């Protein structure tokens, strides 16, 4: 393991210890596939509490880890907000790709670890982001490339969503 992977492993162990000692649920940032692999291969004696991962829907690629205390006596929710991004006028909208949406959001100064998956369907995008950033994104994301966009919060997203696959 390299230095960055060891630091991540120690951070995850720290979150687990924090959940165990304070008896509260703690959440990580969004983890990519490699970081999730590091979490799942971390020796169990390093983690004092159990954990669950979730990214907004069942087959999400980027997920948050929730570290759960032993005596969990309340319901918890992942701090994920679902933002729909759609063009103001479809007639004049460009065909935007995942890269366009991601670049526009990251251009606001937001790190990738604060953002989950971006799903693109029917000329609009669904962005999973940390709850604390939703208001900032909605206020400042007004244009992607040459297309003016509007944002709105979705109250829920179907957990059984399955992305379309394309054979190349």
In a domain, 159, yes or no: no
Query: Looking at the structure, do residues 10 and 52 belong to the same domain, yes or no?
Result: yes
Query: Looking at the structure, do residues 90 and 150 belong to the same domain, yes or no?
Result: yes
Query: Looking at the structure, do residues 94 and 61 belong to the same domain, yes or no?
Result: no
Residue 72 — pLDDT band, cuts 50, 70, 90? confident
| pLDDT for residue 129 | 96
| pLDDT for residue 164 | 76
Residue 109 — pLDDT band, cuts 50, 70, 90? very high
pTM of the full predicted structure? Answer: 0.90
Top pLDDT among 127 and 156 is at: 127
Query: Looking at the structure, do residues 145 and 86 belong to the same domain, yes or no?
Result: yes
Query: Looking at the structure, do residues 55 and 90 belong to the same domain, yes or no?
Result: no
Query: Looking at the structure, do residues 32 and 86 belong to the same domain, yes or no?
Result: no
Looking at the DSSP assignment, which residues form a beta bridge with residue 149? 87
Average pLDDT over residues 96-103: 95
Q: How many folded domains does the chain comprise?
A: 2
In a domain, 35, yes or no: yes
Query: Looking at the structure, do residues 99 and 149 belong to the same domain, yes or no?
Result: yes
Max Cα distance, the chain (Å): 57
Residue 159 has pLDDT above 90, yes or no: no
In a domain, 126, yes or no: yes
| pLDDT for residue 157 | 81
In a domain, 97, yes or no: yes
CA distances from 130 to 20, 30, 68 (A): 23, 8, 19
| pLDDT for residue 122 | 86
Which residues, 6 or more positions from 142, have their beta carbon under 8 angstroms from its beta carbon?
148, 149
Residue 101 has pLDDT above 90, yes or no: yes
Looking at the DSSP assignment, which residues form a beta bridge with residue 65? 53
Residue 132 has pLDDT above 80, yes or no: yes
Mean residue pLDDT across the chain: 92
Top pLDDT among 113 and 162 is at: 113
Lowest mean pLDDT among 8-17, 76-85, 95-104, 151-160: 151-160
Query: Looking at the structure, do residues 94 and 130 belong to the same domain, yes or no?
Result: yes
Query: Looking at the structure, do residues 95 and 131 belong to the same domain, yes or no?
Result: yes
Looking at the DSSP assignment, which residues form a beta bridge with residue 119? 126
Residue 160 — pLDDT band, cuts 50, 70, 90? confident
Q: Which domain holds residue 147?
A: 80-154
In a domain, 164, yes or no: no
Residue 84 — pLDDT band, cuts 50, 70, 90? very high
């Amino acid at each position: 393991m390299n230095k960055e992977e060891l630091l991540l492993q120690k951070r995850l162990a720290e979150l687990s210890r924090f959940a165990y000692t304070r008896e509260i649920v703690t959440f990580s940032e969004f983890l990519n596939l490699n970081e999730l692999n590091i979490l799942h291969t971390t020796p169990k004696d390093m983690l004092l509490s159990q954990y669950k991962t979730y990214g907004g829907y069942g087959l999400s690629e980027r997920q948050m880890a929730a570290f759960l205390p032993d005596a969990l006596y309340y319901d918890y929710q992942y701090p994920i907000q679902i933002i729909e991004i759609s063009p103001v006028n479809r007639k004049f909208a460009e065909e935007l790709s995942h890269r366009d949406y991601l670049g526009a959001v990251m251009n606001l100064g937001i790190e990738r670890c604060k953002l989950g998956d971006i799903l693109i369907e029917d000329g609009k995008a669904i962005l999973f982001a940390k709850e604390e950033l939703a208001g900032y994104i909605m206020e400042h994301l007004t244009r992607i490339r040459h297309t003016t966009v509007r944002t709105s919060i979705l109250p829920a997203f179907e957990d059984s969503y399955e992305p379309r696959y394309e054979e190349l």
